[in-house]
A and B are shown apart, each in its own frame.
Chain A
Amino acid sequence: MYTEAVMDHFSNPRNVGEIKDADGVGEAGNPVCGDIMRIYVKIEDQRIVDIKFKTFGCGAAIATSSILTEMVKGKTIAEAEKVTNRAVAEALGGLPPHKMHCSNLAADALHKALDAYRQSHLQFTAGEADSSSAIG
Chain B
Amino acid sequence: MERIYLDHAATTPTDPRVVEVMLPYFTEVFGNPSGIYQEGRAGKKAIDESREKVARLLGAADFREIIFTGSGSEADNLAISGVAWANRGKGNHIITSSIEHHAVLNTCKHLEKYGFTVTYLPVDKYGMVAPEAVREAITDRTILVSLMHANNEVGTVQPIAEISKIVHEKGVLFHTDAVQTVGSIPLHLKELGVDLLSLSAHKFYGPKGVGALYVKKGTRLSRLIHGGAQERQLRAGTENVAGIVGLAKALELAITELEENNSRLVEFRDYFINELMSRIDRVKLNGHPTKRLPGNVNVSFEFVEGESILLILDLKGIAASSGSACTSGSLDPSHVLLAMGLSHEVAHGSIRLSIGRENTKTQLDYVCGVLEEGVARLREMSPLYQARARKERSV
Binding site for B on A (CB under 8 A): 2, 7, 10-11, 13, 16, 18, 27, 31-38, 54-62, 98-99, 102-103
Q: Is the CB of A55 within 8 A of B315?
A: no
Q: Is the CB of A31 within 8 A of B384?
A: yes
Q: Does B299 contact A (CB under 8 A)?
A: no
Q: Name the interface residues of B294-341: CB closer than 8 Å to any CB of A.
A: 303-308, 311, 315, 324-326, 329, 331, 333
6 intermolecular pairs with C-beta atoms under 8 Å apart:
A31-B345, A34-B326, A54-B383, A55-B383, A58-B305, A99-B326
Q: Does B344 contact A (CB under 8 A)?
A: yes
Partner of B333, one of A16, A34, A61, A98: A34
Interface Cβ pair total, 8 Å cutoff: 73
Residue of B nearest to A37 (CB): B383
Q: Is the CB of A31 within 8 A of B380?
A: no
In the bound complex, CA of A62 to CA of B308 (Å): 8
In the bound complex, CA of A7 to CA of B308 (Å): 11
Residue of B nearest to A55 (CB): B381
Q: Does B249 contact A (CB under 8 A)?
A: no
Q: Is the CB of A55 within 8 A of B307?
A: no
Q: Is the CB of B307 within 8 A of A59?
A: yes
Count B interface residues, CB 8 Å: 24
- Contacts of B326 on A, CB cut-off 8 Å? 34, 57-60, 99, 102-103
Q: A31-B348, A34-B348, A98-B329 are in contact. Are A59 and B383 (CB under 8 A)?
A: no
Q: Is the interface of A mostly helix, strand, loop or mixed?
A: mixed
Partner of A34, one of B324, B385, B386: B324
Q: A10-B311, A34-B333, A59-B307 are in contact. Are A54 and B344 (CB under 8 A)?
A: no
Chain B: minimal CB distance from A12 (Å): 11
- Contacts of B329 on A, CB cut-off 8 Å? 98
Q: Is the CB of B381 within 8 A of A59?
A: no
In the bound complex, CA of A62 to CA of B304 (Å): 11
In the bound complex, CA of A33 to CA of B384 (Å): 14
- Contacts of B348 on A, CB cut-off 8 Å? 31, 34
- Contacts of A37 on B, CB cut-off 8 Å? 383
Q: Is the CB of A56 within 8 A of B315?
A: no
Q: Does B382 contact A (CB under 8 A)?
A: yes
- Contacts of A27 on B, CB cut-off 8 Å? 383
Residue of A nearest to B348 (CB): A34
In the bound complex, CA of A36 to CA of B305 (Å): 10
Given A58-B308, A61-B305, 18 more contacts at CB 8 Å?
A: A7-B315, A27-B383, A33-B344, A34-B305, A34-B324, A34-B325, A34-B326, A34-B348, A35-B305, A54-B382, A56-B385, A58-B305, A58-B306, A58-B307, A59-B307, A60-B326, A62-B308, A102-B326
